[in-house]
Structure 1
């Protein structure tokens, strides 16, 4: 069993579903690193139930390379797993378990690299950054980035190890998730015109979202992405008590996944303007208590690293390829980039397996990731 596989077995054994604490995993990593005399810095959440970890190997006064991964995983509840999700299982060259692809496989390879980093005489440092709550809106890494932003020496590259089959990725869309609460006015359905039907008002807003989405599709295209335009979709809706009651309340959640060149907040502003100018006057003409309220659920920026940048040049050297791509899913990369840390996405496995029952990463992909990281070490030796 390789060091990466052995470490992955341990990491998968920790249930770090986003609703749970990640401290057992973080304590394991801290103990592992301290066994090599590598000190760790922990940045806790307010409840001290979760933590980010940051560690440095090499000369800290030089700009280095961040190897970054999130420790949380999506739930396995209700999925038809044929293997235990929090135990590593091997079949036909594949390693199964929750988080193997997204993204404990990468973290295992990073930890397995530590002995090589210790033995090498590094001219640049390598930083290990582990975060929490990425899967619920890239929440945890923000407190870590506040700390790094204040430091005098910024890393010259961050490699986010999300699963890309080790193909270098320079871009992804940003995301804004919103909630809309519609307050209408209830009455007996036999007198429907005397009420304000919150469900129908919500439906009108959702229809307007669809119109905005079609406009985005027609006006803004970037062929590097699939789909090549910003998208809008409503994913959750609830409202109503009974068929013979005009509903007073309705709630729906929607998201905007925007090209890096576009601000998703502009879509939300368009919808708010429509609500305020077109809908609320009609609603309040029937009931002054009618209202439409919007609240942000989560957001993260897109990523668009220049293919001519030093960061792109470095990842191409490590991967042996300058065939740069983009991904449809979001990462913490845009947040690193926003504080002045150039970022790329490159990791073992495929997101085609992520978030699914019987999630897996292949042994070949872990071996290839180990090799990529060794090439990185070779490039930053004295």
Structure 2
């Protein structure tokens, strides 16, 4: 099958983040096995979602991982010109939810897989497809934990997020959390008989704003825009009516961290401020929603040089969005971002990818196969 045909099939699976993905996983597994590539389905703890892992070439030698996620964000935006879960082709553009982020990469990998299987690979190429990346990289940690039993430690991982087929060496880490404060409801004419959760949470919000301002003063890492860690209040919900003392209030916070900074740690002052409300009689619930580390691959790393050779483009130092790459690196696997499409087209109506971008990705994967067949691999320093 051609990459475009495969993409049409993948788009038809509405594998929205946080929902069961058994149908798309089963199709990919069956496709690979039709080409005599054994695939391992790795169920997650949720029970209705799975990762998928496959190896092409020798399993007892270190090789490279082609990593992507099977989930997509919902397609509820206004402005779609066609069914977002039905691929539409127009003048070299392929429209549909997930075409760029990131089923285009999956399609290119799957189209290249039979060709890779026919090559005399002396280094393996692994396929690692995850779930719930769009919820904060929730699925891939379970797959990374299983890698020691699935393969030799890889030399590197290529995460195929949309990058216009230009390798990217770094991104910030991220953590997100939800705070729920519960007080006591009542009539607004008797505030002395209630506990106003909205009033209480304002102290926490004020501290979060102050922390955001403090972070903007450094430390700095010039490769990022902005060059500092950040913190924001993303959502705020509370109250029923103006004459009712609000019993509950909920806020969600997000932190993004430069290299060497723990993103979850940036939220600690906010959590501690919330916990101080307990002394005032409020119930406080703090729930971590997601967390993943920053990516930072050195400019002189062998994987950087490899991707420069495979793409013919000088790698970019950093981007502002996050990926699963930091989790692979945290596990001791050098990682880099490189995939078809552009991030600016993602998460919006009429998302699309170019046919020529799919072809460029297939060419990169074919070049990786040729490198692994020749075994002209410079191993990273350990």
* TM-score band, normalised by shorter chain: over 0.9
Secondary structure of the 2:203 match is helix
Contact 2:201–2:274 at 8 Å: present in 1 too? Answer: no
Distance 1:37 1:87, change over 3 A: same
CA positional deviation for 1:340: 1.5
Cα distance in structure 2, aligned partners of 1:273 and 1:241: 27
Secondary structure of the 2:107 match is helix
Structure 1 gap ranges (5+): none
What TM-score comes out, normalization by structure 1 length?
0.93
CA positional deviation for 1:280: 5.0
CA positional deviation for 1:133: 1.1
Contact 1:8–1:104 at 8 Å: present in 2 too? Answer: yes
Cα distance in structure 1, aligned partners of 2:316 and 2:220: 19
Secondary structure of the 1:200 match is helix
Confirm or deny that 1:345 pairs with 2:344: no
CA positional deviation for 1:215: 0.5
CA positional deviation for 1:67: 0.5
CA positional deviation for 1:48: 4.1
Counterpart of 2:361 in structure 1 is 369
Secondary structure of the 1:83 match is coil
Q: How many residues in Structure 1 have an aligned counterpart in Structure 2?
A: 374
Cα distance in structure 2, aligned partners of 1:324 and 1:26: 32
Report which stretch shifted further, 188-197 or 68-77: 188-197
Secondary structure of the 1:233 match is strand
Counterpart of 2:198 in structure 1 is 199
Counterpart of 1:97 in structure 2 is 96
Confirm or deny that 1:107 pairs with 2:106: yes
Secondary structure of the 1:154 match is coil
Alignment of 1:274-293 (within 5 A): 274-276=273-275, 280-281=278-279, 284=280, 289-293=281-285
Contact 1:189–1:246 at 8 Å: present in 2 too? Answer: yes
Contact 1:222–1:259 at 8 Å: present in 2 too? Answer: yes
Counterpart of 2:378 in structure 1 is none
Counterpart of 2:207 in structure 1 is 208
Contact 1:307–1:324 at 8 Å: present in 2 too? Answer: no
Counterpart of 1:251 in structure 2 is 250
Alignment of 1:57-136 (within 5 A): 57-136=56-135
CA positional deviation for 1:152: 6.8
Counterpart of 2:233 in structure 1 is 234
CA positional deviation for 1:59: 1.0
Distance 1:165 1:185, change over 3 A: same
CA positional deviation for 1:352: 0.6
Deviations 1:132-158 (A, max 9, x none): 111112111122111104567200011
Cα distance in structure 2, aligned partners of 1:225 and 1:80: 32
Secondary structure of the 1:155 match is coil
Report which stretch shifted further, 295-304 or 185-194: 185-194
Counterpart of 1:40 in structure 2 is 39
Cα distance in structure 2, aligned partners of 1:80 and 1:19: 24
Alignment of 1:151-230 (within 5 A): 153-192=152-191, 195-230=194-229
CA positional deviation for 1:360: 0.2
Confirm or deny that 1:137 pairs with 2:136: yes
Deviations 1:356-375 (A, max 9, x none): 11100011211211121122
Distance 1:149 1:302, change over 3 A: farther
